[in-house]
Amino acid sequence: MNSLPEAVFPDGRRVAALGQGTWHMGESRASAADEVRALQTGIDLGMTLIDTAEMYAEGGAETVVGEAIRGRRDTVFLVSKVLPSNASRNGTIAACEASLRRLGTDRIDLYLLHWQGGYPLAETVAAFDRLKADGKIGAWGVSNFDVDDMEELLSVPGGGHVATNQVLYNLARRGIEFDLLPWSDRRGMPTMAYSPLDEGRLLRHPTLAQIAAGHGATAAQIALAFVLSRNNVIAIPKSRSPARVEENRNAADLKLTAADMAALDAAFPPPPRKRPLEMI
């Protein structure tokens, strides 16, 4: 098993480019133990970046993450998010403190605005700066921001300290390759790719199955290998199954050939023009 590829944040911090998502975790007490085991399996395999949010199961996912990292907080890189409806100056600070309690920790490594809402970005950024100064977060970023949103962010005081943008990105949704991904690359800012398997829809695609057969792999692994082949992109697949988590981890060891990439481009053409940012 090779070491995982890394992504680098503007401040020089490095993280594994294959992490773990938690969307839809924490929704059922019956599945919580399985979710904890899956996350712990991923940590053991080096997938130490864990992404969550106060929105997921109304805090339930953060509670699951808190259980999974108990006693091993220093080995993980925690990412969470504030809802736009909470993203006033005081509301952001209160939301972060509530997330910290659910996560059972004194700090979040990376704290994101989940999407842009009604509060002025300057208020949210001021709150992020306060949280960072107080040691409650290590860095801050955004999610679901298109290029114009990012340009607006850079125009507010302190907005240039943004560390990342988390967006929908996978083989079936490649729109960001036209403008947003190059924009971030030029600024040395990693992109976090949520739903890298397109919520499972990619697993049934015949081209992925054909390429997977040539590698003795699965369609999911090919889809993840594609995302991981992009420069400074962090993939955060979610799974409740330790076996599936291990499958995801092994995707990082796959090397797609030029012929594989050509076949993927034929099946999932890269964008020839600007597309509106997709979200789910």
Whether residue 274 is contained in a domain is answered as no
3-state secondary structure of 14: strand
pTM: 0.97
pLDDT of residue 266: 98
Mean pLDDT of the chain: 97
Task: Tell me what pLDDT residue 1 has.
Answer: 73
Number of domains in the chain: 1
pLDDT tens-digit profile of 248-264?
Answer: 999 999 999 999 999 99
Q: Is 169 among the catalytic positions?
A: no
- 159-188 mean pLDDT: 98
Asked whether residue 5 is domain-assigned, the answer is no
pLDDT, tens digit, for every residue of 51-106?
999 999 999 999 999 999 999 999 999 999 999 999 999 999 999 999 999 999 99
- For residue 6, being part of any structural domain is answered with no
- Domain range holding 90? 14-267
**What single string gives the DSSP state of each residue in 61-80?**
HHHHHHHHTTT-GGG-EEEE
Assigned token pair, 187: 């600024």
Of 56, 111, 119, 194, which one is the catalytic site residue?
56
In percent, the amount of the chain with pLDDT more than 70 equals 100
pLDDT at 2: 80
Residue 276 lies in a domain: no
Residue 194 within any structural domain of the chain = yes
d(CA 264, CA 222): 10
Q: What does the pLDDT average to over 212-240?
A: 97
Is 163 contained in some domain?
A: yes
CATH number of domain containing 203: 3.20.20.100
So what's the pLDDT on residue 272?
Answer: 96
Task: Give the pLDDT mean for 186-198.
Answer: 97
Query: Is 80 exceeded by the pLDDT of residue 231?
Result: yes
Give the CA radius of gyration of the chain.
Answer: 18
Report residue 137: phi and psi, to 5°.
Answer: -135, 155
Helix, strand or coil, per DSSP, at residue 89: helix
Domain presence at residue 275: no
- Asked if residue 222 belongs to a domain, the reply is yes
